[in-house]
Amino acid sequence: MIETWRWFGPSDSISLEMIAQAGASGIVTSLHEVPTGDVWTSEAIIERKQLINSNGLDWSVIESIPLHNDIKTRSGNFQQYIDNYKESIKNAGIAGVDTICYNFMPVVDWTRTNLNYKLANNSFALRFEMTDFVAYDVFMLKREGAENDYSDALKEKALGRLNKMSAEEKDLLEKNIIAGLPGGEGSYSRDSIKEAIDQFIQLGTEGLRQNLFLFLQDIIPVAEAHNVKMCIHPDDPPFQLFGLPRVVSTQEDARKLLAAVPSPANGLTMCAGSYGARGDNNLVAMVNEFSDRIYFVHLRNVIREDDGSFYESDHLKGDNDMVGLISALLDAEGKTGAKIPMRPDHGHLMADEIKAQNVKPGYSYMGRLKGLAELRGVIHAFTQIRRGSPL
Ligand code: DNO
C-alpha cells in the first residue's frame, strides 16, 4: 500500500516536511481555494503538484473535487457544472494526478455531533451521538416531519438532553452539525439548510441514485480517456440524516454503482470508518468483492452503539477488524498488481496538541502519526509473512 497523508494545502499548519517526517510518501489534497463548481485548470494542478514534489512527496489522490449541489439535484446549472467537472478530470489527467475521490452526500458532508469527546486517557475523539442529532433535528432545527422519523423513546431522550444543554452547548451542537467539517462541503445557517434539505427530500432515494448514475455516465468516459480513476467516498455516517436520501452506504449500493457504469475508471474509496459505522457492512467481504475497483482507502476505526451512535476509536482497537481488512486489501493488491494509496483517516487529539488552537477536528498531527505507525506495522508484518521472510 502507499502511505499517504491528507494535507489541506499551503495554509495547513502541518507542513509537507512534517508529513515526510511522519513517513508518508503520498499526499492527498484538493485545490481547496477553487470554488465548488469551477474548473480546475491544469496550470493550478501542476503548480500544486510541483510544490508537493519539491518536498520529495507525490500527489497520490485528489480528495476531493467537490460536486455542486445542482449536479446532485439535476437542476439549475447542472449541465454547466458537469461540463466543468469533465474539464477538471481532463486537466488532472494531463497533470498526471490520476485518482480522484468525490462523494454524493446530499446537503451535509461528513457529520459529527461532538468534536471533543473525551476518552478515558484524556485524549479526544470525534463522536456522532444519535440523541444529540435528534435533539437538533426535531427540537432546534424543527425540520418539518422530523418527529415522524424517530421513535418516541428516542425523542424523549433527546428532549431530556436538550433541556440540560446551556445556550453555548446548543450553539456548539448546531455549529458542529451544519457549519461544515474540514475537507467537507457545505456550510449552512439554520434557514439555508432547511431549504437545501427540502430540495433533496423531494428526490427520494431512487431519484438521487438516478442522478448519480447519470452523472457517472457523463463523466466516466472522460476519466477513462485521460487515465483517471474516480473513487466515490461513502456516506458518513452511512444512514439517513435529516430524512435525506443516501445512496452510497452499503455493499449493495456500491454494487449497483459499479454495475451502472462498468468501466475501470468507475471505482470506490474504501472508507473503513464510514462503511464500518454500520454493523451490517462486512468490510472484508466488500474488499473481496470489489478488489479491482478500490482505488483509495481511509483506514479508521469506530466503536458503535445500538442506536447508531459511534465514536472514532484507536485505529487497531474498534469494531472493525482492521487487521483482517488490511490483509484483504493486500490480497486485492496481489490480484491487480496495483498499489492502493491509504491514509490514516483521522486521529485523536492528544499530548501537546490539546492546548493548540489550530488543530482541525480529526486531523491532528500526533493522532494521525500514531495511527499511521500502527497501520504501517500491520502492513509491514503481513508483507514480510507473505514474502516468506522472517519478521
Ligand atoms: C472526512 C472525510 C471527508 C471526505 C469527503 C470525500 O474526514 O473523509 O471529508 O474526504 O467527503 O469527498
Q: What is the pLDDT of residues 190-223, one digit of tens each?
A: 888 998 899 899 999 999 999 999 999 999 999 9
Q: How far apart are CA 152 and CA 135, in angstroms?
A: 12
- Grid coordinates given for 56: 520529495
The low-confidence residues of the chain, meaning pLDDT below 70, are: 389-391
Distance 75 CA to ligand 1 centre (A): 24
Q: How far is CA 139 from the centre of its chain?
A: 28
Confidence at residue 160, expressed as pLDDT on a 0 to 100 scale: 97
Confidence at residue 76, expressed as pLDDT on a 0 to 100 scale: 96
pLDDT tens digits, one per residue of 61-86:
999 999 999 999 999 999 999 999 99
Q: How far apart are CA 116 and CA 173, in angstroms?
A: 11
Confidence at residue 181, expressed as pLDDT on a 0 to 100 scale: 85
Confidence at residue 186, expressed as pLDDT on a 0 to 100 scale: 75
The candidate with the shortest Cα–Cα distance to 3, out of 348, 383, 379, is 379
Confidence at residue 267, expressed as pLDDT on a 0 to 100 scale: 98
The candidate with the shortest Cα–Cα distance to 270, out of 240, 300, 304, is 300
Confidence at residue 391, expressed as pLDDT on a 0 to 100 scale: 55
Confidence at residue 213, expressed as pLDDT on a 0 to 100 scale: 98
Atom of ligand 1 nearest to the CA of 345: 7
Q: Is 63 in the pocket of ligand 1 (CB under 6 A)?
A: yes
Distance 184 CA to ligand 1 centre (A): 6
Q: How far apart are CA 31 and CA 95, in angstroms?
A: 13
Q: Is 183 in the pocket of ligand 1 (CB under 6 A)?
A: yes
Q: Is 109 in the pocket of ligand 1 (CB under 6 A)?
A: yes
pTM of the model: 0.96
Spell out the domains of the chain, with CATH numbers in brackets: 2-111+203-387 (3.20.20.150)
Catalytic residue positions, numbered: 233, 271, 298, 345-346, 363
The candidate with the shortest Cα–Cα distance to 351, out of 117, 158, 123, is 123
Q: Is 344 in the pocket of ligand 1 (CB under 6 A)?
A: no
Confidence at residue 388, expressed as pLDDT on a 0 to 100 scale: 83
Distance 101 CA to ligand 1 centre (A): 9
Q: Chain-wide mean pLDDT for the chain? A: 96
Q: What residues form DSSP beta bridges with 125?
A: 117
Distance 110 CA to ligand 1 centre (A): 6
